[in-house]
Amino acid sequence: MAEVVLYHHAQGLTQGVKAFADELRQAGHTVHVPDLYEGQTFQTLDDGLAYARQTGFDTILERGVAAVEGLGDALVYAGFSLGAMPAQHLAQTRAGARGALLLHSCIPVSEFGGSWPEGVPVQVHGMDADPFFAEEGGDIDAARALVSSTDQAELFLYPGKEHLFTDSSLPAHDPAATALLTRRVLDFLEDVR
């Protein structure tokens, strides 16, 4: 089975993130869920993003990198929204990466050193009308560029406008879209193990 490092989103290590990790564990995978916020969670996305800005995105990234010290190299890096930043960084720069799962976010590959690494499959998931993913941030453009640059990348779009639709503890949760995403993620993990 795969060994996964799953990074939380800007609202912190919520019960919904933990539940998603548990679902992967129930399928037989080993899942590490680092807390990049040192125990803090936030009721709103705006509050969580304010904390991330105050802490510094570089600090958040450093915490994400430090979380894999002592783990093996053959890891799948996964992240929800803000958590996609350390996940994508490590998938692109840490030797031995087995794959990447970028949920609700995708950063231009150039941010982490150029091209996508050979032999590292990646899935990007987001809602087609999510203002954070599909409009203002340009994440969808970065995802499409990634998919066009390598045959190892897949982009999955779901109908809707919710950003953190996979977090069952948040009002944005979309059970049907989450179920489809989870099935795709589990298939991906079966292929990369």
What digits encode the pLDDT tens for the residues 36-50?
A: 999 999 999 999 999
List phi, psi (to 5°) of 38: 50, 50
In this prediction, residue 114 has a pLDDT band, given cuts at 50, 70 and 90, of: confident
Q: Are 172 and 162 in contact (CB under 8 A)?
A: yes
Strand positions, DSSP E, the chain: 3-7, 30-32, 76-80, 99-103, 122-127, 153-158
What is the residue-averaged pLDDT of the chain? 95
Q: Are 19 and 170 in contact (CB under 8 A)?
A: no
Alpha-carbon distance values, 37 to 52, 70, 100 (Å) = 8, 20, 22
Q: Are 165 and 157 in contact (CB under 8 A)?
A: no
Confidence (pLDDT) at 146: 95
DSSP 160-178: S--SSTT-TTSTT--HHHH
pTM: 0.96
Percent of the chain with pLDDT over 90: 95
Q: Are 152 and 117 in contact (CB under 8 A)?
A: no
Q: Is the pLDDT of residue 128 over 80?
A: yes
Q: Is the pLDDT of residue 193 over 80?
A: no
Confidence (pLDDT) at 110: 93
Q: Is the pLDDT of residue 136 over 70?
A: no
Confidence (pLDDT) at 176: 97
Find the mean pLDDT for residues 144-170.
96
Confidence (pLDDT) at 137: 61
d(CA 55, CA 166): 25
> What is the dihedral sign for C-alpha 10, 78, 189, 26?
negative
Confidence (pLDDT) at 171: 96
The 8 Å CB, 24+ separation contacts for 129-136 are 129/159, 129/160, 129/161, 130/104, 130/160, 130/161, 130/162, 130/163, 130/165, 131/161, 131/163, 132/81, 132/104, 132/105, 132/163, 133/104, 133/105, 133/163
Domains of the chain: 3-192 (3.40.50.1820)
